[in-house]
Structure 1
Amino acid sequence: MGEKTYAGDEGEASFGFGINAALRLGDVSYNMLLEKLRPFEVLYSPESSSTRFSWYASVPSKMGYLDHRRGRKALFLCHEEVAGDLLDVYPGSYCVVLVDDDALPELLNRKNYRHRVIVIRQSKRFYFYDSMLQSLFVNDLIWENEMDRVVYNRGRLDRLISLSEEMLGNFICITDTGFNLIAYSRGIEPPQGGDGYRYLIENNCYSADLIHEIEDRVLAVAKKQNQLFLLEPNESHSYPVLHYPVFIDNAYLFHVAMVCKTGSIEYLQDIFMKFIRRVVSICNDFWKTTVNLEASWHRVLIGLIDGEPMTDEYVDAQLAKTAIPAARQFRLLLFRFSSHKSYQERSRIIEATKELNNGFVYPFMHKDDLLALLFSTSTNDAALSGAGVFGDVGELVFQPFGIAAGASQVFFNIEDIEYAHRQASVAYAMRVPLRNEYESLNGSPDVPCYAFEHVLKYYILTEGFDSDLVDFSFEHSILKRLAEEDRIAGTNIVQMVWVYLNSDRNATETSKLIHVHRNTVLYHIARLEKRFDISFESALLRSRMMLDFHRLLLENKL
């Protein structure tokens, strides 16, 4: 902070933070100043003030020179003999005046002084109060800079909360439009008892009583306007609670609440609004990026992908709002936006994804990626075929916008979306070898959709592959399903396909080796192609099937 030299409490001194070195330090409100002075013996202070201080300077004995523009929003620490001159020269300033006894200084008798002076009985050396006020300004500046850095880097709300816990000092939580928990103060325990915030953490959503109170007492009054609401303690909660519903483009997006257990309400309102300004900035950016895609139940899909703890009841209740419980199969697509793409173009891409799979799709944002969950209520094995998805993405997204997708395999339980997300991410990350293979086979490197089923062979060759993901991928292959059907029905379709592929798809040779009629081989091959919407003409399909065959041989299941 700069070196200080002292000549006693009343003597002349040179200060690194003295009047000739007044600092621009954040934005400290009058209520924040009063909260900082609370532990000391304050003899006098104005009842209220809207003043906010941008500068701080200490003046132990003599008044030096300070730029008038800086002095206008300055807070001075001084003694009585200096205070009058400071208040005269800098009419927009405030003074914290130290006095030796309980007698109030005479300058309070002047009208133009009394509303700009706080008087403290001095019980410690001058430098102690100077250091204390410096810390008030510097800590606020550091906190605001850290929050701004999160906003600038498009950080997450939970990061904004974590670096604000020390300054806010109270439990804070953010929920979505369905009152589902998004982020909360992990370093500060919520109030014990029946206040409902422990319930929020344990169940990832507000209780019915708290939802009813917020809807009736906050949202009913807000009416699509961002406003700060203070709900006083009552039978449902023991402490005052600050509520701030976040509306963007007249749409209710998030809800922020802070339980005011520690600190004066006036002080907490001021620092809470500093925090809220950054929350709204992140929300605005989120809203522009997602183009109003966010729905309350999207938090479940994101939570399943990120492995967040959620109760089965919570997951079921949220997904009940969608067609997902009735779906029989899924595919997940991942589109990665370039940082160079404009907001308008991103909007058009997102609108295009809503047309995929004849509209049976849920697009949502996960971090900076656009994910599209394709689903089908049909048990038809071709409902989400690779060929169909490939053509759909090519026509609706790749050709008009030049954006390709990473695609998962078909999966059957929504709880497996975490595996599907990893598959889609890996498929997109390993697009180069697949594109090279595609170009060598088809003469063009243009691939609208990088399917994980065709990337798996390259993934296994990497050093850091995840054996769990590999196992999951083989378990959801076409041949694995056929092998299980053979086991149950006592047929040998898998063996026939194995021989067919190893005979260069020669039906006559295959029929001789497995002792069936050639037409029987052709019938079963055609039936499989129609059932799964595949073509044994595809070299990519054949290479993946050969990989699956070797896995079955390894498991001794062929």
Structure 2
Amino acid sequence: MDLPLITLLDRMNLQTESHPVCPRTLLVKGIRFLSEHTERLKKDYLYIGPAIPKRAEYERGTAALVCKLEGNPGFFAFQLSEGEEVSYIFNQAQDVLEEMNQWEEQLKELIYGQKGLQEMMQLFSKIMGNPAYLVDSSFKVLAIDQAPVLSEISAIWKHLVTYGYLSYDILDQMRRADEIRLMDSYEKAVIFHLDSFNNPFINYNLRWEGKIRGHLFIVGYFKKITPGDVAYADHLGRLVLLALEKDMKYSISRGKDYENFIHHVVSGTLREKEEIHRQLAPLMWDMEGKYCVMRYLPEEEDEIQTEVMCAELENMHSSKPVIMDGEIVTIFSLEGAKGIEKLEKLLEEFIERNGGYAGLSDEFDGFYRSAVYYRQALICLDMGRELLKKPFVSYRHYAVLHLLFMGQKNVDMKMVCDKTVFRLLDYDREHHTEYCRTLEVYIRNERNIGAAAEELYIHRNTLLYRIARLKYLTGVDLDDYQTRVRLGVSFYIVRYLIGI
């Protein structure tokens, strides 16, 4: 391998009397003995000996360690401390280079054998002597060194280990301090001492097609980070990109900073109210406020279009959309005058424009309850696709149907229905009447003559006649509350589950 010279010098712990600035671009692929008979010094080799021959030629990119250095040789040369033996330094350099080559072989075996990023991070940590962390562009952990004792690390790095992502409040703090922009501005690995972190760390930006897709962190809390570590982190970062290219199951695309926070809340993996409250604060949302959750399945898999729809959802209402498994999960705030009725209308129009299916939960109090109501949204999405064939389903309109949908797995739903419904269905088929639908609309409108007649497009007197007639035919007592409840349930069963 081509090892940065500054990394080699760091690992040799050399104390030099003359130590010019060593650029990170100066590489070493081999060690050669420098004698008075050496005529030409080749690039990418480190020459070690008593002195530089006066008439020796050299190539750009060579370097030397010598006991005696006279003048400026025209290339990077380092004078050893007095008393250093050339043979000892030569063997030491050979040992370091051999060790680094062995590490390199192990890394390549992991990459080409597609052993996974986790094993790479474990090996990175051994090589660097400090823990290595790999995160995507939204600071969600892709691979992490689990070795550090949690009591020995700062709260931020501890959060990465415990929850698998960097909390949104920390990201918001970093953004306000302009630290994220500063980190993103570098093409090479850089050591950072940021106010948001207790420990110094190396950051290497993983760039893919010109965009930052993630970060490699080497955190300095077991040993001091050296310039050689920073230079070598450039090489490790390129190996990570190679590993990602070889193993496409690791998809690293930049998401919203709050994506991981929302994901953990709705999935129920983050339940501690104190932790939720802390991370929710930068979003300017009330912990005890009114919310609802939607899950939306786009009509087509199109990454760019999905991002566009996320932006549309965010702009249409106070919401936080995130992408989960190719679908859009959105939490809406219903504070103020923004009621769920208005939101339902907006979402119906959204789905009509964009296609696909969506399920919306009930309105609920308390952001920390999002996981429960997220399951409602999932249920609505499934019922809309499989049962109702409706692109948009709001749970508040179909809660009873959900119960019946679950019950039909264990019970013949016909036995639950009121006999009045079947009698009217039979009569309607035989006489071409609409008594069954008339009763359904009448019950749904809570026996309001005006509203029911308007929905049926008939005169009030016609409705009164039909009600009297169906009472005569069936003997049903519509003044009995339990009868009306059972009739309402029966109409759900007949319409959606039995398919009569």
- The percentage of counterpart residues that share the same residue type is 8
Cα gap change, 1:360 to 1:513, in 2 (>3 Å): farther
Deviation at 1:373, TM superposition (A): 2.8
Residue pairs, 1:61-460, within 5 angstroms: 72=43, 74-76=44-46, 80=49, 88-95=57-64, 105=67, 108-109=69-70, 111-112=72-73, 115-116=76-77, 121=85, 130=94, 132-137=96-101, 139=103, 164-171=124-131, 185-189=144-148, 192=151, 196=155, 200=159, 219=178, 226=185, 230-231=192-193, 241-242=200-201, 258-272=219-233, 286-287=253-254, 290=255, 294-296=256-258, 298-309=259-270, 311-320=272-281, 321-323=283-285, 325-326=287-288, 330-335=292-297, 341=302, 343=304, 345-354=305-314, 359-366=317-324, 368-374=326-332, 376=334, 383=340, 395-397=349-351, 399-402=352-355, 404-405=356-357, 407=359, 410=362, 412=364, 417-418=370-371, 434=386, 438=389, 448-449=391-392
Match of 1:36 in 2: 11
Letter in 2 for 1:188: A
Q: Whole-Å Cα distance in 1 between the matches of residues 375 and 122 of structure 2? A: 28
Kept in 2, the 8 Å contact 1:334–1:405? The answer is yes
Aligned-partner SS, 2:294: strand
Query: Using a 3 Å threshold, how does the CA distance of structure 1 residues 181 and 285 change in structure 2: closer, same or farther?
Result: closer
Amino acid of the structure 1 residue aligned with 2:103: N
* Alpha-carbon separation, structure 2, partners of 1:394 and 1:159: 47
Q: Which runs of 5+ in 1 are unaligned?
A: 1-24, 63-67, 98-103, 439-446, 455-472, 482-494, 530-534, 547-558
8 Å Cα contact 1:191-1:197 kept in structure 2: no
Cα 1:422–1:279, aligned 2, differ >3 Å: closer, same or farther? farther
- For the pair 1:49 / 2:2, whether they are aligned, the reply is no
Query: Distance between the aligned counterparts of 1:194 and 1:163, measured in 2?
Result: 20
Letter in 1 for 2:226: I
State the SS of the aligned residue for 1:300.
helix
The verdict on how the C-alpha distance between 1:394 and 1:184 changes in structure 2, with shifts beyond 3 A counting, is same
The structure that has the greater radius of gyration is 2
The change in CA–CA distance for 1:538 and 1:310 in structure 2 (over 3 A counts) is same
Decide whether aligned partners of structure 1 residues 323 and 192 sit closer, same or farther in structure 2, where only a CA change above 3 A counts: closer
- Distance in structure 2 (CA, Å) of the matches to 1:105 and 1:245: 36
Separation in structure 1 between the aligned mates of residue 58 and residue 120 of structure 2, nearest angstrom:
40
Tell me, yes or no, if the aligned pair for 1:44 and 1:118 is still in contact at 8 Å.
Answer: yes
Structure 1 residue matching 2:61: 3-state secondary structure: coil
- Asked if the contact 2:200–2:219 (Cα under 8 Å) also holds between the matched residues in 1, the reply is yes
CA offset digits 1:457-476 (Å, max 9, x no partner)? xxxxxxxxxxxxxxxx9999
Structure 1 position 315, deviation (Å):
0.8
Helix, strand or coil for the counterpart of 2:130?
coil
SS of equivalent to 1:116: strand
Q: The residue matched to 1:109 in structure 2 has which SS?
A: coil
| 1:93, distance to aligned residue in structure 2 (A) | 1.8
Query: Cα distance 1:480–1:367, how it changes in 2: closer, same or farther (>3 A)?
Result: closer
Indicate if the aligned counterparts of 2:289 and 2:333 stay in contact, CA closer than 8 A: yes
Task: Look up the SS of the partner of 1:111 in the other structure.
Answer: coil
Choose 318-327 or 219-228, whichever is displaced more: 219-228
Measured in 2, the distance between the counterparts of 1:408 and 1:258 equals 43
* Two-structure CA RMSD over aligned residues (Å): 6.7
CA contact (8 A) 2:359 2:380 kept: yes
TM-score by length of 2: 0.56
What is the one-letter code of the residue matched to 1:335? L
Q: CA deviation at 1:364?
A: 1.6
Q: Which residue of 2 aligns with 1:488?
A: none
Specify whether residues 520 and 306 from structure 1 end up closer, same or farther in structure 2 by C-alpha distance, changes over 3 A only: closer
TM-score by length of 1: 0.51
Which range moved further: 301-310 or 518-527? 518-527
Is this contact kept in 2: 1:362–1:374, CA < 8 A? Answer: yes
For the residue of structure 2 that corresponds to 1:187, the secondary structure is: coil
**Inter-partner Cα distance in structure 2 for 1:232 and 1:522:** 67
Cα deviation digits, residues 155-214 of structure 1 (max 9, x gap): 99x898666433443246799999x9968954232685695558756997999xx99997
- For residue 315 of structure 1, give the secondary structure of its aligned residue in structure 2: helix
Matches of 1:323 and 1:479 in 2, distance apart? 36
On the 8 A contact 2:6/2:227 being kept in 1, the answer is: yes
Please state whether the residue corresponding to 1:188 is helix, strand or coil: coil
- CA shift, 1:417, in A, is 4.7
Question: 2-side partners of 1:161 and 1:476: how far apart?
Answer: 50
> Residues 191 and 117 of structure 1: is their aligned pair in 2 closer, same or farther, counting only changes over 3 Å?
farther
Q: Secondary structure at the match of 2:45?
A: strand
Cα deviation code 1:301-340 (max 9, x no counterpart): 212345545632011233354556455563331335866x
Cα deviation, 1:120-153, whole Å, max 9, x if unaligned, reads 7466798885464144256358759979999xxx
With CA pairs under 8 Å and 6+ residues apart, which has the higher RCO, 1 or 2? 2
Residue 258 of structure 1 deviates from its aligned partner by 2.8
Write the letter of the residue equivalent to 1:36.
Answer: R
- 1:284-312 Cα deviation digits (max 9, x unpaired): 9744xx4xxx254x433212345545632
> 2: CA distance between counterparts of 1:83 and 1:429?
78
In structure 1, the residue corresponding to 2:57 is in which secondary structure?
A: helix
Q: From the superposition, tell whether residues 269 and 87 of structure 1 become closer, same or farther in structure 2 (CA, over 3 Å).
A: farther
Deviation at 1:109, TM superposition (A): 2.9
Letter in 1 for 2:350: L
Q: Is the 1:501–1:542 contact (alpha carbons within 8 Å) kept by the matching residues of 2?
A: no
Contact 2:292 2:332 in 1 (8 A): yes
Check conservation: 2:292, 2:331, Cα contact below 8 A: yes
- Contact 1:334/1:370 (CA < 8 Å) preserved in 2? yes
Question: How many equivalent residue pairs?
Answer: 423
